[in-house]
Each structure stands twice: as structure tokens, then as C-alpha cells.
Amino acid sequence: MKQSGLGTAANPQSVVILGSGCAGLTAAIYAARGNLKPLLIDGHEAGGQLSLTTDVENFPGFPEGIQGPELIEKMRRQAARFGTEYLHGEAVGADLSRRPFRLTINPHREIFTRTLIIATGASARMLGLASEKRLLGHGVSTCATCDGFFFRGREIIVVGGGDSAMEEANFLTKFADKVTIVHRRDTFRASKIMRDRTLKNPKISIAWDTVVEEVLGADVVKAIRVKNLRTGKLSEIKVEGLFIAIGHHPNTKIFEGQIELDKAGYIVTHGNSKTSVPGVFAAGDCQDHVYRQAVTAAGSGCTAAMDAERFLEAEEH
């Protein structure tokens, strides 16, 4: 819940953070320790992508690995300990043309802030098929962690050739009898360790040079029509699940026309976390399409909070 009378046009917050993933929560820890009393707005996917993942093996400090949701929960508690305030809701509008900046939050509310840290992350990309959309939640999924359990003893397809596809496919073999990875090329983009793990997994087979043409089924997924790009041959694979793991797009729509975005919609940052609007900072996957790791998101969250703090200090003196 929101406290205090802060956040009005007359009495704006010092800093509002949009997004509750690794970047947003790290920004909150730093801003709170800097005594800025940050308000963090959760966003439509609380906890961000880490909350949808299982084993995190590469976050420093956890030699045995840690579950994504547990890591997020620890960060949340750490930020709360120093006075971060949380608001459940999603920013659906922003006016960054004058200060204090005005944010429209759903459920309906307006919040004013002197500085803004955007850590809205990125969301799963879809194939763009009408049938995929229709059967989303009825056999089509973008989250193995969330839905894998429902496919115990079934056969499924994972689309993609990056680390996400490898991770999802391997995870899904805990439940499914057989997982087929459908990839549009003849080599994986994924890192060597993930590739090797996948190729060694006896429950996983690969359909190389293949794309999904259609998801078949009236109410639930019954089969997938695929096309081999080398031969042009169409075939149907009988499966009950389709997991799409083909990357992400940045959640920056409400900032279009207000701050500089690149062609793919990622926020352009100038010198660490600064955006094209003074007082607006960006961190994590909404501004990083290269590294996209939990640890780099955390690092950029720290940078954004320090930049916001310095910005406010400079303004006060």
C-alpha cells in the first residue's frame, strides 16, 4: 500500500521505480539506503523474469545455485528493510515532458515523482500465429516453470535455439516423456554448456531447419504443423504442449515518443543509466538487449539508483 501523502504534484516522491525484477529491486535497495524512500511499482509481472525461472546457477554468492523466485523474494525483503515502499499496480501512462513527472497507475491513481527509474524489463516474444494466441493457456505456454507440471507424461515441443529454449527443454524433461526442440537453423545460438546439456539429454530430440506453421486443436493443442525449410516439406507432430522460447521484447510502449528508444524499442541510455530525459534513468532488460543477465540487471539497477541520487543532490545544491 502507498503511504504518507507523498507522490502528489505538490509533494512528489523523490524516486519512483517501475518494475520489480532484479534491476528494479536492486535500484530500490540502493535508493532506500540512500534515504530516498523509493516507491516501487510492481508492474504486470511481479518479480520479472526471475520469478518465472527455476535454478539460477550463475548469480554470484550462491555456489549451490538458487531458485529464481527465492532470489527475488530475498531482494524484496532486503529493499523493504531499508524503507522501500511497494505498490501493486502497473504504469499505463507517463508524462515525462515536465517535472515532477506524472505516472498513471492501474488501478487508477496518479503519482508524481522528481526522478524515475524505468526497470520494466522485457516480455516473451510470440510467433505471431492466430492459433498460438487462441490456444495460449490451453497447451501453448511461454513459461515452463509455470506450466511444465501440467505436461507430466506428455509429448511437447519447444521452439527456439537460444539459452532460454535449452533451459525450458531440459526443465520440461522432468515432466514430459519427450521434448522436441524446433529450431529454424541448423545450429543453436545457446551457450556451449547449455547446448551440450541439451544434446546429451535422451528425452530431447531436435528438428533442425524447421519452423512452426500452425498450432492445431479446437480447444486444446493436439498437434503442431511444422515446415522443414530445406525441403519445404510440411508435417504434423502430435503433441499436447507448445512452449515458445524465442526471446523477448522490451516493455517500453508507454514511453514511445517521450524518451529515446532504439529501433527495437529498447531505451537508449547515455553514460550509464541516463536516458534522453534528465531525471529519468533506465536499468535492466528494458535497456539491454546484449547481456540480459540477472547479475547485469542488478548492476544496472545499482547504477540507476546512484545516478538518480546524484541528480537530486545536484539539483538541491
Point out the residues that are catalytic: 143, 146-147
- Restricting to residues 36-65, name those near ligand NAP by CB under 6 A: 58
Find where cell 492445431 sits: 216
Which of the ranges 29-37, 161-169, 267-275, 276-284 carries the binding residues for ligand NAP, by CB under 6 A? 161-169
The C-alpha atoms of residue 185 and residue 142 are separated, in whole angstroms, by: 20
160 is a contact residue toward ligand NAP (CB under 6 A): yes
> Of the ranges 104-112, 143-151, 158-166, 309-317, which one interacts with ligand NAP (CB under 6 A)?
158-166
Determine, following the binding rule CB under 6 A, whether residue 68 of this chain makes contact with ligand NAP.
no
Q: Which of 88, 109, 174, 185 binds ligand NAP (CB under 6 A)?
A: 185
Helix 22-33 and helix 68-81: axis angle, to 10°?
20
Query: From the list 246, 286, 304, 305, which residue makes contact with ligand NAP (rule: CB under 6 A)?
Result: 246
170 binds ligand NAP (CB under 6 A): no
State the Rg of the chain over Cα. 21
The C-alpha cell that represents 239 in the structure block = 503433441
Which of residues 109 and 185 has its CB atom nearest to ligand NAP in the complex?
A: 185
Is 148 near ligand NAP (CB under 6 A)?
Answer: no
Q: Which is nearer to ligand NAP, 50 or 254 (CB)?
A: 50
Identify which of 147, 109, 81 has the alpha carbon closest to the alpha carbon of residue 16. 109
Peptide bond just before 107 cis, omega within 30 deg: yes
Query: Whose CB is nearest to ligand NAP?
Result: 162
Got the DSSP string for 141-188? ES-HHHHGGGGTT-EEEEE-SSHHHHHHHHHHTTT-SEEEEE-SSSS-
**Smallest distance, Å, CB 298 to ligand NAP?**
14
| Angle, helix 22-33 to helix 294-316, in steps of 10 degrees | 40
Which grid cell sits at 65? 545455485
User: CB 63 → ligand NAP: shortest distance, Å?
Assistant: 16
Q: Which of 90, 167, 240, 288 binds ligand NAP (CB under 6 A)?
A: 167
| Least Cβ distance, residue 290 to ligand NAP (angstroms) | 7
Q: Is 89 in the site for ligand NAP (CB under 6 A)?
A: no
Count of positions (residues) in the chain: 317
Alpha helices, DSSP H, located in 82-148: 130-134, 144-147
Q: Is 9 exposed, middle or buried (0-12, 13-18, 19+ CB in 10 A)?
A: exposed
Under the binding rule (CB under 6 A), the answer on residue 265 touching ligand NAP is no
Contact between 127 and ligand NAP by CB under 6 A: the answer reads yes
Q: How far is the CB of 75 from ligand NAP (least distance, A)?
A: 18
Residues that bind ligand NAP (CB under 6 A): 58, 127, 159-165, 167, 184-185, 189, 191, 211, 246-247, 292
